[in-house]
Structure 1
Amino acid sequence: MSPLNDSVPSPIKTAIVGYGLSGKVFHAPLLASDENFEVVAIVTADAVRQAEARAVHPHARIHSSFDKLWAEERSVDLVILSSPPDTHVDFAMRALSAGAAVVIDKPFVATVAEAAALKSAAEAAGRPLMVFQNRRWDGDFLTIQRLIAEGELGEVFSFESAFEHWAPVATSGWKDQLPIPQAGGVLYDLGSHLIDQALVLFGPAAEVSATLRRVRGGGNDDHSRVSIEHAGGVETRLLMSRVSRGLGPRFRVLGTRGSFTTYGLDGQEPALAAGVVPGDAEYGVTPEEGFGWLETDGPAGISRRRVPLERGDYPEFYRRAAAAVRGEGDLPVSLEEATAVVDILERVTRTTAD
């Protein structure tokens, strides 16, 4: 591990493992736009992705395997794991033992036992272990947090959240083919985000249930629902689907004073894919047609109005990660919070059949 100077911090030398959608669209642009980090290495076995990585990150060394990364690199401060989830435990253990901090993309791991083992390894190594939950900084989610904190909705009693898209043909990738006990399927993939958001808003789960379906046949679950009864009394209903041809609301929040509804996904992912980077004027800004609807009772009766969404801010994860790596701040997502998500995923997949 390379030394970090406290007075003039050196960039955190970072390796990205995996250069698919997550590594290429999320992690690499966020790291490149943050002066706290220097991407020194990228790992991908795919020749096309190697060429893409060289073109976009000419100063990074490209390695074809995780083994070659450690054989050829001498100073890496941080390893980003955007590789398939069945590699996470092995790769994270090896990175931590080499003295590097680690960021693991969702799904974190498949089981609570694996989460506990990684937590113990991080504590033994004295290095931060962080789970990438970027959608805590979606603009619509930040808006819901603000409205609840300001009392606009009164006491929330019902929360509905959906992450849907249309992909009628299963792919050969891990999301569709990796066995569910190894964190494959739409529940582990998209459900990791939705469950995390629900727990952030309303606290721990008292009861959970789910249905998992394989609508396309073969492969993994592609249309799944999770119900959570929170200890605080809120009822949460979550939908994650790859086979939704017509999309419903993204969020619907019901409270004793009103409701808030949004449609469409946060725009940061397509913006990053299109080359918009944090710092650009339009980054994270939702246009008016994407504003949410707030409906409340007022002196003149029911009031229904558009509410601008907070600016999305995925870079906040890495601002916090930089502080954690340097020993100057808490983890962006605590391991207890990350493990609570895994606990729900593991419980419902163990007890659910098609």
Structure 2
Amino acid sequence: MKENVRTAVVGYGFAARTFHCPVITAVPELELAMIVQRSGHSCLQAYPSVRAVQDVREAYEDPDIDLIVITTPSTAHYSFVKDALLAGKHVVVEKPFTPTTEEADELIALAQDKGLVLSVFHNRRWDGDYLTLQEVVRRGLVGRITEAEFRWDRFSPNADPSRWRDAGAEGSGTFYDLGVHLIDQALTLFGLPDSVQAEVRTQRERTLAPDYFDVSLGYPDGLKVSVKSTLLARDPAPRYRLYGTEGSFVKYGEDPQENLLKAGRLPGSPGWGEEPQEMWGSLVANRDGLQFTGRLKTIPGCYDAYYRNVAEAIHGVSELDVKPEQARMAIRVIELGMQSHAEQRRVPFTP
């Protein structure tokens, strides 16, 4: 294996421009070598040294390309990932992995058969607020967890059915787009649930895809984990609520890394991922008779850690952090959530 993992990015929409290309260039173990842009070569304005092509087959057929990053809409993930694996390339695919677990299972088996790295871009595991939440749980700061809530509220009242997210095709809508991130975080933190109950609705005019979800994951020890989102929240609720036998942790706001990337900043620059003190989460805890009430400093986020791990996994020196089997389980929760909504009942979790 060459020292640097030569990488081709397929697609040059919002995800590629904002997340993948900038973060890839910030990871020394990776080399952004090619961008597949179906129409035009605007990518060369930002990355003049890359090879810009319009046909994805050039990425598949180039023997110098090690890793292919799929940033196309989720409705097309299956075919692009399958073709890249058949071409002998390692693959990173944008979330959600695939619209169905059946497709995910086929791709996982293909990657295993080919001995290739396959990962899904669940970068939100490296949001600073989520990293902080993980530490609160790991250190037992609020005692035994009894309830947790993960929310992604936005105010975006105008749907556009010409966009894939609002168009209603399989794999579209906020349940797949935003919900899969929150579900992945919940499963990473608490493991697989025993049951799933969900309400999935369309609230905005003109949208053809679900734009609201409220999911309850049940666990054997009585833990309840809620995953929710609406696009009609002018005043968003807390991003995270964590309640336990000895305290609570509440965090508002969103990780700053996306806005930093939009502003042209790169991971590793001074102050990367740091939040101002007024955005830190609130911790109220009672341990050993001592009461604490105050702000908990947010751990800086680090999206580059995702891609650094992918490069190390390709080199065989680290275990892959975001395994395709984990991303597949998030899709399974969505499938069961849709079943729960259709049947108006809580359904048992089945892999």
1:39 and 2:32 matched = yes
How far, CA to CA, are the matches of 2:219 and 2:48 in structure 1?
48
CA separation in 2, counterparts of 1:69 and 1:178? Answer: 30
Provide the rounded CA distance (Å) in 2 between the counterparts of 1:252 and 1:95: 40
- Correspondence for 2:48: 58
Q: Tell me the CA shift for residue 298 of structure 1.
A: 6.1
Count, aligned residues: 341
Q: Which stretches in structure 1 are left out of the alignment for 5+ residues?
A: none
Q: What is the one-letter code of the residue matched to 2:165?
A: K
Q: Cα distance 1:178–1:18, how it changes in 2: closer, same or farther (>3 A)? A: farther
- The residue identity in structure 1 corresponding to 2:261 is L
Aligned to 2:183: 195
Mapped partners of 1:300, 1:125: distance in 2? 57
Q: CA deviation at 1:243?
A: 2.0
Alpha-carbon distance in 1 for matches of 2:49, 2:64: 15
**For 1:205, what is the secondary structure of its paired residue?**
coil
C-alpha distance in structure 2 between counterparts of 1:18 and 1:324, whole Å: 24
2:240, 2:56 → 1: CA distance? Answer: 39
Equivalence for 1:161: 150
Residue 83 of structure 2: aligned partner: 94
Shift of 1:139: 0.7
C-alpha displacement at 1:63, in angstroms? 2.1
Aligned mates of 2:340, 2:137 — CA distance in 1? 33
* Structure 2 residue 160 is matched with structure 1 residue 173: no
Q: Secondary structure at the match of 2:16?
A: helix
Q: Which residue of 1 aligns with 2:274?
A: 285
Q: Give the superposition deviation at 1:178.
A: 4.0
TM-superposed CA distance for 1:42, in Å, is 1.0
- For 2:300, the aligned partner's letter is R
Q: Is the 8 A contact 1:207 1:229 kept in 2?
A: yes
- For residues 70-109 of structure 1, the aligned pairs below 5 Å read 70=60, 73-109=62-98
Matched with 1:310 is: 299
Task: Work out which of the residue numbers 179, 185, 188 in structure 1 matches 2:173.
Answer: 185
Taking the aligned partners of 2:221 and 2:73, their CA distance within structure 1 comes to 35
**2:292, 2:51 → 1: CA distance?**
57
Give the Cα–Cα distance (whole angstroms) in 2 for the partners of residues 165 and 349 of structure 1: 22
What is aligned with 2:9? 16
Paired residue secondary structure (2:194): strand
Q: Deviations over 1:274-332 (max 9, x none)?
A: 11111111111111111000012368875320110011111111111001111222112
TM-score scaled to structure 2, two decimals?
0.93
| CA RMSD across the alignment | 1.7
